[in-house]
Amino acid sequence: MAIPIRLTVNGKPVDAQVEPNTLLVQFLREQLRLTGTHVGCDTAQCGACTVHLDGRAVKSCNLLALQADGATVTTIEGLAGQAGNGLHPMQEAFRECHGLQCGFCTPGMVMSATALVQEHPDADAATIRAHLDGNLCRCTGYHNIVRAVQQGQAAMQGTAASAE
């Protein structure tokens, strides 16, 4: 029994039908074909599925699509769109600082990092590490990820300050 939902995804209105047990991550990936949001653990432990729901970072494997009815969802694809023609400053910082290796966790890390900076624009390295605790990376030692968040933070604040 499909249920109608209406939401805004990456700035565009979406009207869809979903089964009651459809997870938000499944809806985004399978129905909308927004595959930048990754499925990692299916238990809200790894953070690979992080998106913004009404401006807050949430793990989309832990929410039903029905719970997003009426909401605004931003995925990693939509984050780039907010920057105009190029990458969002946080995405650019991850690229420049080598804040990724295999890239699987990167969309979730970037989405969590942008939400952190929007909520705590002056977050220090310890706060960044604590905030990213729910995002797992098996490739890096997190040092470059923290540097990337600091550089992205500076760029989002409109400064050219180095993260070093």
Q: What is the pLDDT of residue 85?
A: 66
- CATH of residue 93: 1.10.150.120
Q: What is the pLDDT of residue 53?
A: 98
Indicate whether 18 belongs to any domain: yes
The three-state (H, E, C) secondary structure of 123-146, written as one string: CCHHHHHHHHHHCCCCCCCCHHHH
3-state helix, strand, coil in the chain (%, to 5): 40, 15, 40
Q: What's the predicted TM-score (pTM) here?
A: 0.89
- For residue 148, what are the domain limits? 83-156
* The token pair that represents 12 in the structure block: 């565009």
Tally of domains in the chain:
2
Mean pLDDT of 68-76: 97
Is pLDDT of 83 > 80? no
Q: Final residue of a domain: which of 34, 62, 79? A: 79
Q: Final residue of a domain: which of 28, 51, 79? A: 79
Please tell me the distance from the alpha carbon of residue 82 to that of residue 96, in angstroms, as a whole number: 19
Is pLDDT of 114 > 80? yes
Which residue is listed with tokens 């990936």?
29
Indicate whether 164 belongs to any domain: no
